Amino acid sequence: MDPHLLRTFVTVARLRSFSAAAGELGYTQSAISQQIAALESDLGLPLLSRRPVEPTPAGERLLEHAGPLLLRLRAARADVLRAAAPPAYRLRLAATPLALNATLAGRLARARAAQPRLEVTVLGCGREDVAALVASGEAEIGLADGVAAPSDPLRLPESGPLTVVGVAEEELVVALPPGHPLAGRPGLRLADLVDARWLQTTLCPLERLRALQGEGFPAALDHRGDDVQTVLNLVRAGHGLTLLPAPLLPATLPATLLPATLPTALPTALPGAPLSAGPLPAAPGASGACGVPLLTPRLVHRVEMLHGALPPGPAADLARTLEAREQA
């Protein structure tokens, strides 16, 4: 199967237009039609209906394979070019919104101090895009974050032969308004919060919590963005709960209270308004949301680094510094 024809098919299917695909790919509309016809002839099946332009059932099946196939081809090209390229001092670091935390920002600073010529561009992106950017060569190194059990790998999309290694883990807290009935608790169990009102966010997808704890976790509000401050504002206003890394939120406990002293059992009955009630107002004068430690299950905010084969040079040195936990 000709990858050029496959790329044309994917573009037409995405844009739902032969003329728009011609403009994007730099061909004439006639050439696009000929390429689609050649691909259909090769497979012996119609892949696109013409009026309106949309994939046929066979075309839908091909689309499921086309994206990963084209990505693997781009990844192979990028991997070969990386191996033969001279050392580059301009590096691109793809990172999800919470991946470049204080610890990793500090390691990045050490790397730049050790290599004065190093120029780093941080590319903000979604968790599903990090591996693709690295595999295709659009970024030399990637950082992706998510909720996981300690030392368990994140569930990242398959994007070819990449090295993936955990580089940081932080404790998680339940984010809620200061006036919430649970705000003063020393700790919370996820099992006690299955009926609470939650925010559906890219920072903490509810599907992940359901996979860990079972059904529940109704979404009170769906936030389709990755701005942390917006999520904190929504929590503060009582729209729902979420899980966030502990460093993002003020502790509700004295500094001397260590996790080992937290109770292992909590009553499921809640004082005051039930968890399934409507939005709760924040405490008067509260400056923002607060965090209560998550007791069980044991979960962490995990950050993983992704990269392809890195020849000796600035990129490999940066990867080693980002991985150097013992120096953090």
Q: Mind listing the pLDDT tens digit for each residue in 33-68?
A: 999 999 889 999 899 988 899 999 999 999 888 888
What pLDDT does 146 receive? Answer: 93
Beta strands in 8-131 (DSSP E): 48-50, 53-55, 90-95, 119-124
CATH topology of domain 170-298: D-Maltodextrin-Binding Protein; domain 2 (3.40.190)
Give the residues across from 243 on adjacent strands: 174
In the predicted structure, residue 139 carries a pLDDT above the cut 90 = yes
Question: 207 or 75: which carries more pLDDT confidence?
Answer: 207
- Rounded Cα distance between 314 and 139, Å, is 14
Written in H, E and C, the secondary structure of 116-163 is CCCEEEEEECCHHHHHHHHHCCCCCEEEEEEEECCCCCCCCCCCCCCE
In the predicted structure, residue 144 carries a pLDDT above the cut 50 = yes
Q: How confident is the model at residue 280 (pLDDT cuts 50, 70, 90)?
A: very low
Q: Which of 79-83, 193-197, 281-285 has the highest mean pLDDT?
A: 193-197
What is residue 301's three-state secondary structure?
strand
The superfamily CATH assigns to domain 90-168+302-327 is: Periplasmic binding protein-like II (3.40.190.10)
Mark residue 3 as left, alpha or beta (left: phi above 0; alpha: psi -120 to 50; beta: remaining).
alpha
- Rounded Cα distance between 132 and 282, Å, is 41
Q: Assign domain 3-84 one CATH number from 3.40.50.10420, 3.40.50.2000, 3.10.105.10, 1.10.10.10.
A: 1.10.10.10
Domain layout of the chain by residue ranges: 3-84, 90-168+302-327, 170-298
CB 171 within 8 A of CB 301: yes
Q: How confident is the model at residue 277 (pLDDT cuts 50, 70, 90)?
A: very low
What pLDDT does 71 receive? Answer: 79
In the predicted structure, residue 186 carries a pLDDT above the cut 80 = yes
What pLDDT does 260 receive? Answer: 37
Can 3-84 and 170-298 be said to share one CATH topology?
no
Q: How confident is the model at residue 273 (pLDDT cuts 50, 70, 90)?
A: very low
CB 183 within 8 A of CB 280: no
